[in-house]
Amino acid sequence: MISPPYKTPVSVLVLIHTADLKVLLIERADKAGFWQSVTGSIEAEDATLQDTAIREVLEETGLDATQFKLEDWEFAQTYEIYEHWRYRYAPGVTQNIEHIFGLELPAPVDVKLALNEHVAYEWVDWREAAKRVFSWTNVEALRLLGERHQLTL
């Protein structure tokens, strides 16, 4: 299969967490200090959002999302693509639609990062995670995680 020349402006954000709300954060390789959840764009025309979430979790952490509780939260956010990443998209594309998924693990685990994409990871309390992530959509996903457990940021 040939990859499209540009990224599709439809993506997933997978919030990997435990039942006691420890959240996995990963630090971007291309932007030091930029912490985030697992994210990625749809790559194949026939790929579903769930397929994309499973693929991205495996690529970025080495975890098989099908072995855990993966949920489509049926919530999406549209955001302005950062200027320094727009070259990845077709000319004129400035916005991305990001769909939120949750992946619950029984406990924090060691992960195997894709070192070309991420250089470090940490498991932190969900409220701490909300202070550290660089993207407002990631903060909103963390707020939703708390809300799903009757907690507030």
Domain boundaries, the chain: 10-148
> Domain 10-148 falls in which CATH fold?
Nucleoside Triphosphate Pyrophosphohydrolase (3.90.79)
pLDDT at 4: 64
pLDDT at 45: 84
Residue, of 5 and 130, whose pLDDT is higher? 130
pLDDT at 88: 93
User: Which positions ≥6 away from 82 have C-beta within 8 Å?
Assistant: none
Average pLDDT of the segment spanning 79-107: 96
Class of residue 7 by CB neighbours under 10 A (exposed 0-12, middle 13-18, buried 19+): buried
Tokens for 32, please give them: 């030091």
| Backbone angles phi and psi of 115, in degrees to 5 | -65, -20
User: Would the pLDDT of 1 be above 80?
Assistant: no
Please give the Cα distance from 138 to 134 (Å, whole number): 8
Please give the Cα distance from 148 to 18 (Å, whole number): 13
pLDDT at 153: 87
State pLDDT tens for residues 47-78: 999 999 999 999 999 999 999 999 999 999 99
Q: Cα-Cα-Cα-Cα dihedral of 40, 82, 22, 129, to 10°?
A: 180
pLDDT at 44: 87
User: Would the pLDDT of 9 be above 70?
Assistant: yes
